[in-house]
Amino acid sequence: MKRIIPFALILGALAMAVALHLAKPKPTRAEITLASVAVQTQNIQAETVFLQVNSQGNVTPRTRTSLVSEVSGTVLEVSEKFVVGGKFSRGDILLEIDPTDYKVALQRSEALLKGAEAQLIFEKARSAQAKKEWEFTGRPLDEAPSLSLRIPFLAEAEANLAQAKAEVERARVKLNKTIIKAPYDGIVYRKNADIGQYVTVGIPLAETFAIDFVEVRLPLSEQDLSMMNDADFTDNLYGKDVILRGQVNGRNASWTASAERFERVIDEVNRSQYLVARVDDPYGSQASDKSGNPLYVGTFVTAEFKGGN
């Protein structure tokens, strides 16, 4: 009897489970509708995109000169422009060395020149007289010894005259060199002489630089060079625009330079090559930015220009 009761319970549980499963409602099938999405299309067109290359550098003068005295003497006068930062024009007198000794030398050489001219006139007359005397003998002139016709003396007088003329020219040149003139439009970078100072030949009087245009050497790394189409860049190098940016009196300024040349030498220290950009008339109106700022020598600038495509 005890075994029958558990078996009956098991059968009852199974029957109840089957009944519940059969009574469970079946799920309904639903249709899923996908929402449409608007898509705009366009045809693919190829276009050229230039990579921008950035660099930096300092503004340097293209022409820098050491003005050296070619004569000795005491500095008598200096121009008001002969100061550090002084701006001058080509042909301006910057300083003058005492010309007294050189004026005396010129006068002496001119006197010797007059003596040589007189001596030549005298020898020409004596040579002509000797020629007449020989012809008076009735003998052919081509048989006359050169000494009898005073030809050597005439040649000596002509040589002395040529030498005297050269000495006059030399004295005049030395006298002119007592006046030191500006070789170009520029600015005094360093001043080494002043009034009362005695200078000798070869002594530097000043250092100057020209302001017709300036340059900026822009280092380019291997990565920068890889952004360029080298063949196109070097073949069409001249005239490429280079935008320079810097500060003048605490204000931002920009200038448009042009690529001048590409230095095909690798720097042994930083492994860079250099692009040299040029700015014309940096201290004048042509090179000024919209605010009228000049581009001073020594200014640090950043640069950007288009590389390859």
User: pLDDT tens digits, residue range 150-167?
Assistant: 888 889 999 999 999 999
- What pTM was estimated for this model as a whole? 0.69
Which among 105, 127, 106, 121 is positioned nearest to 161, based on CA atoms? 121
The pLDDT of residue 48 is 62
Is the domain 52-56+212-306 a CATH 2.40.30.170 member?
yes
CATH architecture for segment(s) 64-98+178-209: Beta Barrel (2.40)
pLDDT in tens, 81-139: 999 999 999 999 999 999 999 999 999 999 999 999 999 999 988 888 878 777 777 77
Structure-derived torsion over alpha carbons of residues 168, 65, 98, 162, reported in degrees to the nearest 10: -10
Of the pLDDT bands very low, low, confident and very high (cuts 50, 70, 90), residue 6 is low
Give how far the C-alpha of residue 177 lies from the chain's centroid of Cα atoms, to the nearest Å.
29
Average pLDDT rounded to a whole number, residues 72-84: 96
Dist. CA 151–CA 140, nearest whole Å: 16
Please state the three-class secondary structure of 138-151 as a single string. CCCHHHCCCCCCCH
